Structure 1
């Protein structure tokens, strides 16, 4: 999808709407260049775009009520984004160490770092 092309974006939206209308969970968007950097460093590696029915399972049958949507829009997701970026960076570092034939314990340092981050308490519904 080319974000600068309205027709391309409209086609992607139509595809997603058809996918989720027929029971599909949604999609994951990733930058075309793979490893994207923004003004503050690494960009979020992926973004999940869930469909209405999937979100209904997560947030409850009344999640589309205006007061519930207003509450959902106020959630603070910065912590989860930060966690995802740190896990992604550690995964990349593990790959670099592996490709450079560093000792296995150096690769495992990164893997254990990801596992430690995974044990951090986080609101699963974000």
Structure 2
């Protein structure tokens, strides 16, 4: 069945209609790929998608945040994308992981569209009183949990690639599940 895939959802009447649109290659035989740039991941995934119809390329572009023209172009693209029903976009640095003075820096920043935020936050999230309330939410706990999950995930990948006993790999997965049970505002 020929179809254009735009966004995350489409009709899937049979298994041939399913697609996977990855944005990282976490591991391959004997190697964790956290040392590769985001551009490497996207180009390599593009080549894999050309060779395997189950893989769908994920749209991406490189922007220079110091360029007014690039910033204007990405804002224009984001507005059209979200006005057309897209969820939003994610900004990622070229390096897979970055460290700052305070440790690991968040690996991506999601920028959601208005319609998505209305579903998650409330239909009138953009009213001034609600914007103020949303801006006062404490995010430290959410960031801390996300960082712990990220580290545990990569520890599990390294254990898997190093062929440690599966029980050692599962320890990391179970720890992530335990962190997921921590009470945090799900809208964050």
TM over 0.5: yes
Cα offsets for 1:91-120 (capped at 9, x unmatched): 011111111222211111111110110111
Structure 2: segments with no counterpart, 5+ residues: 1-62
Q: CA deviation at 1:45?
A: 2.0
Contact 1:90/1:111 (8 A) holds in 2: yes
1:60 aligns with 2:122: yes
* 1:85 corresponding residue in structure 2: 147
Provide the aligned C-alpha RMSD in A: 1.3
Instruction: Report the TM-score, using the length of structure 2 for normalisation.
Output: 0.63
Measure, in 2, the Cα distance between the counterparts of 1:32 and 1:105.
33
Structure showing greater Rg = 2
1:1-126 maps to which residues of 2 (within 5 A)? Answer: 1-126=63-188
Aligned 8 A contact 1:80 1:122 in 2: yes
Distance in 1 (alpha carbons) for counterparts of 2:115 and 2:182? 28
Contiguous gaps of at least 5 residues in structure 1: none
Q: From the two aligned structures, give the one with the greater helix fraction.
A: 1
Instruction: Count residues in correspondence.
Output: 126
| TM-fit CA distance, 1:10 | 2.0
Q: CA deviation at 1:55?
A: 0.7
> Which has the higher mean CA deviation after the structures are superposed, 57-66 or 12-21?
57-66
